[in-house]
Amino acid sequence: MANTNLQFKTNYVVESKIEPFYKGGKVQISKDEKYIFCTCGSRVNVLEISTGKIVHSVEHDDQEDITSFTLSCDDEMLVTASRALLLKQWDWRQAQCTRSWRAIHTVPVASMTFDSTSTLLATGGCDGTIKLWDVVKQYCTHNLKGSSGVVHLVQFHPDISRLQLFSSSLDCGIRLWDLRSSRCVCVLQSHYSAVTSLSFSPDGGTMVSSGRDKICTVWDLETRKAKRTVPVYEAVEGVVLLPEDKDLSEIGVKSKDLHFITAGSKGVLRVWEASTARCVYTQTLPSPLATVSEVEEERDDDPRSLTFLLHLPASSRLATVTAEHNIVLYQLPGLTTQQQFVGYNDEVLDVKFLGKGDSHIVVATNSCQLKVFELLTNSCQILYGHTDTVLSLDVFKKGFLFASCAKDRSVRVWQMDSDSGQVHCVAQGSNHANAVGSITCSRMKASFIVSGSQDCTVKVWDLPADLSTTGPDVNQLTPRATEKAHDKDVNSVAVSPNDKLLASGSQDRTAKLWSLAGEGNVGLLGVFRGHRRGVWAVCFSPVDQVLATSSADGVTKLWSLQDFSCLKTFEGHDASVLKVIFVSRGTQLLTSGSDGLVKLWTIKTNECVKTLDAHQDKVWGLHVSRKDDKVVTGSADSNITVWVDVTEVELAEEQAKQEDLILKQQELSNLLHEKKYLKALGLAISLDQPHTVLTVIKAIRQVENSGELLEKTVLKLRVDQKESLLRYCAVWNTNARNCQDAQAVLQVLLTHLPPEEILQYQGARTHLEGLIPYTERHMQRIGNLLQASMFLNYMWQKMRVAGAPSSMGKDEEMDTTPLAQPFFMIDKEKGMGSSDEKQDGDDSDGGQDEDPNCPVKEAEEEDDDGEVSSTKKASANGGRVENGERTKTNGNHHSESEESSAEEALEEEDQTTVKVKCLPVSSTPQCQTFAS
């Protein structure tokens, strides 16, 4: 093998990911035009437009799909509705739910919107009703009935002084609701199919509606009559009135008349003049799409169709959403494409680095289109050309030219402009008899490509010297050599670094080596036999005369090009090994499999040194950058991951951090042992570990004069440490076991710090609001416990115990003071004793360590606490002994009156109650501390 001085790669970490963020449904853009909000199953994702990254994500706890959402006009509140019929209000920047309430609708909410003041929320349900909510005062203000079927559109009139709401449902009418009278004042009838969107003029006097009945209607809202019906000859999903104060002559706006723009099933934006009902501008489609037949244009599931049209007035932009979940931003007035985001990639079949400094990646998904992502912004170009699923990709040496092949039996060559980054097709060839499943490029210069097909052949295609194109036509390629290479599908082809050899791998379980040196025919040099199942990938070493192959039998093999013998076998994947590539100048291998794993192998030691686990499904795409420092993977789980090699220095830094953490934990333990609580608490807060901080608080509360010590310690903390402590308290207070510690800290903070200072803490309002409902729940639990203790005290005063002085049988006034001492329990071994003996006995069963906030059932289940276990045991024994003693008493007092017998029967009933109720009782001082 090659003798190099390179250090072996030992670790890769995830640098970035391109994940699905939109799978259909509503899309909304924030008022400041910085963020895109869109649904993805049970989540609402927030995409930052400038970076293309998901910066926030909110998700319902119940994992139910979100049926609708809306963002307030001031960009502060996000409200979501789920299938569980819950409405949730979010502080979306913190991804925190601030309030939730029942939707009142009997079926899921289909649409929702805020008014311009961000105080009124309208929800349209699948039950045909519309509810209006005051989100400030938190109550339902209107319940509007009368719509038929699902209310899929609700929208306030932009002039809030009118207090009008527009809605549409399955009857295709547009209802106008007067919110002062809660009545539907009229129904605007014009459409014969679903109304999809409404757009209002700046003065609020004109409205344009669009529908899937292929018309748009211009309404006069003063007379509530239709002024003009404009046939647009396509199902329209979105309409936007164009601003009158902008120069839009580039898109056909030549007059001051009303103009609007539509987006629909044909996948293009078109500008209409309302007064003449004429289309004055049609967006130009990419050339391969312009020739699509009229029959194909009429398909309802056309992937090119547009589903939303949004206006960004501040930046003079338009946003469209396609049926393939792509979000495209256009700049007015020329409607030039500014940014494009891919919401969902489907299965990733291949991925390669591209461009200067590997700044881009080109991706083949389960689609006829190619996607080129800029890694810095996640903005994407979509390349049209193939007419069926693209299966494989390869890139030429310089990184600006690449080739693709597809099920449409064709190969294409694409070129990226080094300045603009735009990609266009420069050559194509179509000569295979079946789907083309693999392609490879020449290594030294861009002179030829080789393709392998399901027709069992490999073809060599020569490229013209000048690949530039001046017109709409591209260079047509013809194969210079065709060879029947295998008996089954050709899964992979690869060209050697010197362009003289070709390797092919097939479903027939073999790999073959071919000569490319001669003109014309491809010559067979040898066959590699040894795999038990089909060969998925072949790859030449960059420095040695070695070929690597991977197979569906789960192994990777290295072969000698001299005698075609197997040199090494790498076993470790649990399923098919789909790709193999060389890294570290041929000293290591990377393999990817259908088990979702990527493994890094050192060839010399035959050892797997790292397993990369970031995918949940088959990893079809695997490519290394030209600098050999990054790896990109693409999977059938729709995720694309860029991995960066972590250097030894970075690994040392990470190890140093871990060692420092261990040392700090040891130091913390020493400080607690030495009772240096202030330093211990400060150190624990610096680690930013709430559980560690809680351990210190518990330690402080266990010492004598704990209240005074806790107060002194907390008040000596810095402001930032107190801020962290408040945040931790909000977390601790959610758990009944830790609520007393949280309340003790809160009592110190709220008693000794002025409200103005606390409110300056970051997120203080949110933390305090989160504390309220849990604190109320804890207080209610303690209240119930105090009531139970008073009842038991009364029962204790009324009970008669056999063998006690006669004075015990007399009625006494009920003692309503809370119990400060534990109940006495009858010892089975000692039998019955006097009441004085019981009162002077051991009080270890009093439950002093129990949490008074826990309900009875919780206390019974906490077997880890010795006191609780002993209480349960004593209670169980007490019942049996009492029955035995009662039998003995009845035997010794046959001469007593019937009244005495009746009293004893009552005692039996009362004692039965005691056995159930006395278990959770704990000392009163704990309850009073929490209540205070």
The burial class, CB within 10 Å (0-12 / 13-18 / 19+), for 136 is exposed
461 pLDDT above the threshold of 50: yes
**What is the pLDDT at residue 519?**
67
List the one residue out of 755, 776, 801, 921 whose CA is nearest residue 852.
Answer: 921
Give the tens place of pLDDT for each residue, 821-873: 443 343 434 343 433 433 333 433 333 333 434 333 333 333 333 333 333 33
pLDDT in tens, 132-162: 999 988 899 999 998 888 999 999 999 988 9
Share of the chain above pLDDT 90, in %: 45
pLDDT of residue 881: 35
Q: Which two tokens stand for residue 278?
A: 């004429």
Residue 921 has pLDDT above 60, yes or no: no
pLDDT at 63 over 60: yes
- The string of pLDDT tens digits covering residues 740-764 is 888 899 888 888 888 888 888 887 8
- Residue 727 in this model has a pLDDT that exceeds 70: yes
DSSP state of 98: E
Q: Which residues contact 574 (CB under 8 A, 6 or more apart)?
A: 554, 593, 595
Q: What is the average per-residue pLDDT within 635-652?
A: 78
Residues 6+ positions from 291 with CB-CB distance below 8 Å: none
Would you say how long the chain is, in residues?
932
Q: Taking the mean position of all CA atoms in its chain, how far away is CA 198? A: 31
- Could you give the CA distance from residue 858 to residue 868 in angstroms, rounded to a whole number? 10
- In the prediction, which pLDDT does 653 show? 64
Q: In the structure, what pLDDT confidence band is assigned to residue 796 with cuts at 50, 70 and 90?
A: confident
Strand ordering across the sheet containing 510-515: 490-495, 501-506, 510-515, 523-529
User: What's the confidence (pLDDT) of residue 514?
Assistant: 93
**Helix 739-752 crosses helix 706-715 at what angle (to 10 degrees)?**
60
Are residues 814 and 797 in contact, defined by beta-carbon separation less than 8 angstroms? yes
Q: What's the CATH code, domain 348-644?
A: 2.130.10.10
pLDDT band per the 50, 70, 90 thresholds, residue 655: low
> Is pLDDT at 111 greater than 70 in this prediction?
yes
Which residue type is seen at 348?
A: V
pLDDT at residue 286, as a whole number: 61
pLDDT band at 184 (very low <50, low <70, confident <90, very high): very high
Tell me how far apart the alpha carbons of residues 303 and 389 are, in angstroms, rounded to a whole number.
Answer: 14
Q: What is the pLDDT of residue 301?
A: 53
Which segments of 32-188 are extended strands (E)?
35-40, 43-48, 54-59, 66-71, 78-82, 86-91, 96-102, 109-114, 120-125, 130-134, 139-144, 153-156, 164-168, 174-178, 183-188
> Does the pLDDT at position 215 exceed 80?
yes
Contact assessment for residue 2 and residue 586, using Cβ atoms and an 8 Å cutoff: yes
- pLDDT (0 to 100) of residue 869: 33
Q: Pick the more confident residue, 135 or 662.
A: 135
Dihedral sign, CA of 250, 255, 256, 260?
Answer: negative
Q: What phi, psi does 745 have (nearest 5°)?
A: -70, -45
Q: Give 447's DSSP letter.
A: S
Please work out, in degrees rounded to the nearest 5, the angle formed at the alpha carbon of residue 581 by the alpha carbons of 341 and 516.
105
Q: What percent of the chain has pLDDT over 70?
A: 81
pLDDT at 852: 39
Residue type, 72: S
Do 13-99 and 103-189 show the same overall fold?
A: yes
In the predicted model, is pLDDT for residue 807 greater than 80?
no
- Look up residue 155 and give its two tokens: 């929208």
Q: How far apart are CA 927 and CA 782, in angstroms?
A: 7
- Residue-level pLDDT at 888: 36
Closest to 445 in 3D by CA, of 400, 404, 482: 400
pLDDT for 12: 85
Round to whole Å and give the CA distance between 908 and 915.
11
What is the Rg, in whole angstroms, of the alpha carbon atoms belonging to the chain? 38
pLDDT at 18 over 80: yes
Reported for 63-66, long-range contacts at CB under 8 A and 24+ positions apart, including other chains, are 65/41, 66/25, 66/39, 66/41, 66/42
Tens-place pLDDT, residues 533-590: 999 999 999 999 999 999 999 999 999 999 999 999 999 898 999 999 999 989 999 9
DSSP, res 846: G
Residues 130 and 143: their CA atoms lie apart, in Å, by: 6
- For residue 234, pLDDT over 80 is answered with yes
Q: Which has the closest alpha carbon to 914: 884, 889, 879, 872?
A: 879
Angle at 679 between CA 676 and CA 683, to 5 degrees: 135
Joined tokens for residue 21: 């963020």
Strands of the sheet containing 370-374, edge to edge, are 348-354, 360-365, 370-374, 380-383
- The per-residue b/e assignment along 58-89, b for 16 or more CB within 10 angstroms, e otherwise, is bbbeeebbbbbbbbbbebebbbbbbebbbbbb
Compute the distance between CA of residue 724 and CA of residue 693 in angstroms, rounded to an integer: 10
CB 767 within 8 A of CB 750: no
Average predicted confidence (pLDDT) for the chain: 81
- Token pair 């120069």 in the structure block, residue: 247
pLDDT band at 918 (very low <50, low <70, confident <90, very high): very low
Pairing of strands 577-583, 566-571: unpaired
Cα distance between residue 377 and residue 374, in whole Å: 6
Q: What fold, for 13-99? A: Thrombin, subunit H (2.40.10)
Helices 739-752 & 924-931, crossing angle to 10 degrees?
50
- Structural domain boundaries in the chain: 13-99, 103-189, 348-644, 677-784
| Alpha-carbon distances of 884 from 46, 646, 828, 888, 919, rounded to whole Å | 70, 75, 10, 6, 21
Amino acid (1-letter code) at residue 332: L
CA 376 to CA 705: how far, in whole Å? 58
Instruction: Report the pLDDT value the prediction gives residue 716, as an integer from 0 to 100.
Output: 87
Task: Return the DSSP state at 274.
Answer: T
Most confident of 644-658, 787-801, 914-928: 787-801
Biggest CA-to-CA distance, the chain: 127
SS3 content of the chain, % helix, strand, coil (to 5): 25, 35, 40
Residue ranges of E strands in 431-554: 436-441, 448-453, 457-462, 475-476, 479-484, 490-495, 501-506, 510-515, 523-529, 535-540, 546-551
| Calpha distance 282→587 (Å, rounded) | 56
Q: Are 364 and 640 in contact (CB under 8 A)?
A: no
Neighbours of 292 (CB within 10 A): 15
What's the pLDDT score for residue 853?
A: 40
CATH class of 103-189: mainly beta
Alpha-carbon gap, residue 489 to 433, rounded angstroms: 12
Give every strand in the sheet of 54-59, ordered side by side: 27-29, 35-40, 43-48, 54-59
